[in-house]
Amino acid sequence: MKIGIVCYPTFGGSGVVATELGKALADHGHQVHFITYSQPARLDFFSENLYYHEVAVSQYPLFDYPPYELVLASKLVDVVRHEKLDILHVHYAIPHASAAYMAKQILATFGIHIPVVTTLHGTDITLVGKDVTFNPVVTFSINKSDGVTAVSEHLRKATYDHFDITNEIEVIPNFIDLNRFSHKGKDHFKKAIAPNNEMIMVHTSNFRKVKRATDVIRIFKKVHETIPSKLLMVGDGPERVNCEQLCREFGICDNVRFLGKQDAVEEILSVADLFLMPSDTESFGLAALEAMACQVPVISSNAGGLPELNIQGVTGFMSNVGDVADMAKNAIYILEDRERLAEFKANALKRAKEFDLSIILPLYENYYKQILEKS
């Protein structure tokens, strides 16, 4: 198949899923064309089946707001026509699904029919999409897509609850490439971070409000009072300064390292004993799956799709959003007994294997085939 993929080319979960999916499809012999405003973060190598088309937005003095969606739609028309694509797969509804709809209408005037698959990732529905200013466009473009997928059962339900959806939504969960995300022997790194064999906790995110990164600091403070431990904060974003401020207030700066954005997250996860994800909402929780693949149990909230990934008392624990005390109690329970910790680590890996790329990739391929046959 010749597949066009539209995504946000950043470190965000939806961009990561889209890029990893495209790479895997290319490995399977499909021709994959990424159409984005810059080279996706994890697409920094050459492959004969991978193509990249830049959506270049010109800055005119007249435009206070450059019309990215229109430029994207025009680019889609151009790429579909000239590369003879079979299907377009857009990740994140806003504005990709509506740009694809417009491109589809324009292509029809050339006698070209291109089916569009939209994958909903989470904040496009639960935070941004729900906003009344976007609602009509999100509803329309989901209903007009030839196929719609959501990354969890929870997100599927939330979409039906918040929008007037007449289309079927198929659940295809996030996946993990276990060849990349696996426990790596990084003992020298572990020794540098935790010279006295302290336990290591990790949080990775974009430090937006929804991630409740300051709860991570609060959980760590409580655990640290009982268990000798260190905390690694990976990523960057608006809440980082508040986290740093809290560390100063608590007097725990020597035990918390802010590592910023990192490419080789799997190496950091490999030294970790526990992953912390206290999010307000999380449609799936890809970062938690990445941790589990590296044998790291997860202390999370029970929001959104997290219960579809984290198994209570098996791969970690879940608590109500904001219940820092319960999250800290559960973290201590896992960390205080080495044998128990080893069991949780093994369970985390076992669960991650259920989301292996080799299991999820065929679900997307079959879905494309189904949509192509239907349209």
Sites of contact with ligand GMT (CB under 6 A):
12-15, 17, 92, 121-123, 126, 151, 174, 206, 208, 210, 281-286
Name the nearest CA neighbour of 75 among 89, 51, 88, 56: 56
Residue 39 CB, nearest approach to ligand GMT (Å): 17
Residue with Cβ nearer ligand GMT (67 or 237): 237
Question: Minimum distance from CB of 235 to ligand GMT (Å)?
Answer: 10
State the amino acid at position 270 in one-letter form.
Answer: S
In this complex, which beta carbon is closest to ligand GMT, that of residue 149 or of residue 255?
149
Q: Is 91 helix (H, G, I), strand (E, B) or coil?
A: strand
How far are the Cα atoms of 131, 174, 333, 342, 344 from residue 339, in angstroms, in the given order? 47, 30, 11, 5, 9
State in angstroms the smallest separation of the CB of 181 from ligand GMT.
Answer: 14
Tell me how far, at minimum, the Cβ of 196 lies from ligand GMT, in Å: 34
CB closer to ligand GMT, 4 vs 129: 129
CB nearer to ligand GMT: pick between 36 and 283: 283
Of 139 and 301, nearer to ligand GMT (C-beta) is: 301
List phi, psi (to 5°) of 24.
Answer: -65, -40
CB neighbours of residue 50 within 10 Å: 20
Residue with smaller CB distance to ligand GMT, 33 or 154: 154
In the complex, least distance from residue 60 CB atom to ligand GMT, rounded to whole angstroms: 29
Q: Measured in Å, how far apart are the chain's first and last C-alpha atoms? A: 15
What's the chain's length in residues?
375
CA distances from 200 to 101, 181, 250, 268 (A): 47, 18, 18, 10
AA letter at 6: V
Pick 101 or 284: Cβ nearer ligand GMT? 284
Q: In the complex, what is the shortest distance from the CB of residue 186 to ligand GMT, in angstroms, rounded to a whole number?
A: 25
CB 124 to ligand GMT: min, Å? 7
Residue 182 CA: distances (Å) to CA of 186, 272, 319, 348, 356: 12, 12, 27, 11, 11
